[in-house]
Amino acid sequence: MNKQIFVNLPVRELDKSKAFFEALGYSFNPQFSNEKGACLVIAEGSIHAMLLTQAFFKTFIDKPLAQATEATGVLICLSCESREEVDELVAKAIKAGGRVPRPPQDHGFMYSHAFEDLDGHAWELVWMAPGDQQH
Protein backbone atom coordinates (compact mmCIF):
# COMPACT_ATOMS: atom_id res chain seq x y z
CA MET A 1 0.00 0.00 0.00
CA ASN A 2 1.28 3.46 -0.88
CA LYS A 3 1.71 6.01 1.88
CA GLN A 4 -0.90 8.76 1.91
CA ILE A 5 -1.12 12.05 3.74
CA PHE A 6 -4.29 13.58 5.17
CA VAL A 7 -3.70 17.11 6.43
CA ASN A 8 -6.52 18.14 8.80
CA LEU A 9 -7.55 21.80 8.68
CA PRO A 10 -10.24 23.55 10.72
CA VAL A 11 -12.65 25.71 8.71
CA ARG A 12 -15.29 28.20 9.77
CA GLU A 13 -17.78 27.51 6.97
CA LEU A 14 -17.43 24.13 5.31
CA ASP A 15 -19.58 24.90 2.24
CA LYS A 16 -17.65 28.10 1.48
CA SER A 17 -14.32 26.31 1.92
CA LYS A 18 -15.44 23.54 -0.43
CA ALA A 19 -16.51 26.10 -3.04
CA PHE A 20 -13.13 27.86 -2.69
CA PHE A 21 -11.12 24.71 -3.44
CA GLU A 22 -13.51 23.62 -6.20
CA ALA A 23 -12.82 27.01 -7.84
CA LEU A 24 -9.13 26.03 -7.84
CA GLY A 25 -10.02 22.86 -9.75
CA TYR A 26 -9.87 20.36 -6.88
CA SER A 27 -12.49 17.73 -6.09
CA PHE A 28 -13.80 16.05 -2.95
CA ASN A 29 -14.13 12.38 -2.09
CA PRO A 30 -17.79 11.95 -1.08
CA GLN A 31 -16.97 8.67 0.69
CA PHE A 32 -15.06 10.65 3.36
CA SER A 33 -17.25 13.77 3.44
CA ASN A 34 -20.31 14.78 5.43
CA GLU A 35 -21.70 17.87 7.20
CA LYS A 36 -18.73 17.85 9.64
CA GLY A 37 -15.91 17.55 7.13
CA ALA A 38 -14.91 17.09 3.52
CA CYS A 39 -12.00 15.17 2.00
CA LEU A 40 -10.21 17.46 -0.45
CA VAL A 41 -8.37 15.43 -3.09
CA ILE A 42 -5.10 17.18 -3.97
CA ALA A 43 -3.39 14.20 -5.64
CA GLU A 44 -5.53 11.11 -6.18
CA GLY A 45 -4.42 8.28 -3.91
CA SER A 46 -1.71 10.20 -2.08
CA ILE A 47 -2.39 13.78 -0.90
CA HIS A 48 -5.60 14.92 0.79
CA ALA A 49 -6.76 17.65 3.13
CA MET A 50 -9.59 17.03 5.52
CA LEU A 51 -11.54 20.27 5.86
CA LEU A 52 -13.19 19.92 9.25
CA THR A 53 -15.69 22.25 10.89
CA GLN A 54 -14.06 23.95 13.85
CA ALA A 55 -16.40 22.17 16.28
CA PHE A 56 -15.50 18.76 14.85
CA PHE A 57 -11.78 19.60 14.66
CA LYS A 58 -11.83 20.46 18.39
CA THR A 59 -12.89 16.89 19.21
CA PHE A 60 -9.39 15.73 18.14
CA ILE A 61 -7.35 18.17 20.24
CA ASP A 62 -6.90 19.11 23.89
CA LYS A 63 -5.41 22.57 23.28
CA PRO A 64 -7.05 25.77 22.08
CA LEU A 65 -7.78 25.98 18.38
CA ALA A 66 -5.31 28.29 16.62
CA GLN A 67 -6.75 30.88 14.25
CA ALA A 68 -4.76 30.79 11.01
CA THR A 69 -5.84 34.37 10.22
CA GLU A 70 -3.91 35.53 13.30
CA ALA A 71 -0.87 33.23 13.40
CA THR A 72 0.81 30.71 11.11
CA GLY A 73 1.41 27.28 12.54
CA VAL A 74 2.02 25.40 9.32
CA LEU A 75 2.88 26.07 5.66
CA ILE A 76 1.37 23.54 3.27
CA CYS A 77 3.72 23.29 0.29
CA LEU A 78 2.61 21.68 -2.97
CA SER A 79 4.78 21.05 -5.99
CA CYS A 80 3.52 22.14 -9.40
CA GLU A 81 4.47 20.96 -12.87
CA SER A 82 5.22 24.44 -14.22
CA ARG A 83 5.60 28.11 -13.34
CA GLU A 84 2.33 28.65 -15.19
CA GLU A 85 0.53 26.18 -12.93
CA VAL A 86 1.84 28.06 -9.87
CA ASP A 87 0.54 31.37 -11.23
CA GLU A 88 -2.78 29.88 -12.38
CA LEU A 89 -3.53 28.42 -8.95
CA VAL A 90 -2.69 31.69 -7.21
CA ALA A 91 -4.91 33.61 -9.67
CA LYS A 92 -7.80 31.17 -9.06
CA ALA A 93 -7.31 31.50 -5.29
CA ILE A 94 -7.48 35.30 -5.50
CA LYS A 95 -10.61 35.15 -7.65
CA ALA A 96 -12.23 32.74 -5.16
CA GLY A 97 -11.58 35.08 -2.20
CA GLY A 98 -8.12 34.01 -1.07
CA ARG A 99 -5.30 36.35 -0.10
CA VAL A 100 -1.74 36.58 -1.40
CA PRO A 101 0.73 37.13 1.47
CA ARG A 102 3.77 38.04 -0.65
CA PRO A 103 4.95 38.47 -4.25
CA PRO A 104 6.21 35.45 -6.19
CA GLN A 105 9.83 34.44 -5.70
CA ASP A 106 11.97 33.50 -8.71
CA HIS A 107 15.30 31.84 -7.95
CA GLY A 108 15.87 30.63 -11.51
CA PHE A 109 15.97 26.92 -10.63
CA MET A 110 12.89 27.31 -8.42
CA TYR A 111 9.78 29.48 -8.63
CA SER A 112 7.29 29.86 -5.79
CA HIS A 113 4.20 31.79 -4.86
CA ALA A 114 1.60 31.42 -2.16
CA PHE A 115 -1.98 32.06 -1.17
CA GLU A 116 -4.06 31.90 1.97
CA ASP A 117 -7.42 30.17 1.83
CA LEU A 118 -10.62 31.60 3.33
CA ASP A 119 -9.55 30.51 6.83
CA GLY A 120 -6.02 31.90 6.54
CA HIS A 121 -4.23 28.56 6.00
CA ALA A 122 -1.01 29.16 4.06
CA TRP A 123 -0.53 27.23 0.81
CA GLU A 124 2.91 27.46 -0.81
CA LEU A 125 3.19 26.47 -4.46
CA VAL A 126 6.57 25.63 -5.93
CA TRP A 127 7.99 24.61 -9.31
CA MET A 128 11.56 23.32 -9.61
CA ALA A 129 13.43 23.15 -12.91
CA PRO A 130 13.91 19.57 -14.15
CA GLY A 131 17.27 18.18 -13.08
CA ASP A 132 17.53 20.55 -10.09
CA GLN A 133 15.30 18.55 -7.75
CA GLN A 134 17.09 16.91 -4.84
CA HIS A 135 15.92 13.46 -3.68
Residue 132: band (very low, low, confident or very high) from pLDDT cuts 50, 70, 90: low
**pLDDT value at 32 more than 90:** yes
Q: Under 8 Å CB-to-CB from 54, ≥6 apart: which residues?
A: 10, 11, 12, 65
Q: What share of residues in the chain are helix, strand, coil (percent, to 5)?
A: 25, 35, 45
Q: What is the pLDDT of residues 59-77, one digit of tens each?
A: 999 999 999 999 998 999 9
Q: What is the pLDDT of residues 108-121, one digit of tens each?
A: 999 999 999 999 99
Q: How far apart are CA 67 and CA 96, in angstroms?
A: 20
H helix or E strand, kind and range, residue 15 = helix 14-23
Q: What is the pLDDT of residues 10-20, one digit of tens each?
A: 999 999 999 99
Q: Which pLDDT score, from 0 to 100, does residue 130 have?
A: 87
Overall average pLDDT of the 89-96 stretch:
98
Percentage above 70 pLDDT, the chain: 97
Q: Is 78 exposed, middle or buried (0-12, 13-18, 19+ CB in 10 A)?
A: middle
Nearest to 90 by CA among 120, 128, 117, 130: 117
Q: Which pLDDT score, from 0 to 100, does residue 1 have?
A: 72
Q: What is the pLDDT of residues 41-58, one digit of tens each?
A: 999 999 999 999 999 999
In the chain, the domains with their CATH numbers are 5-128 (3.10.180.10)
Overall average pLDDT of the 78-97 stretch:
97
The strand ranges marked E within the chain are 5-11, 27-29, 37-43, 47-53, 75-79, 105-106, 110-116, 122-128
Overall average pLDDT of the 12-37 stretch:
97
Q: Which pLDDT score, from 0 to 100, does residue 135 have?
A: 46
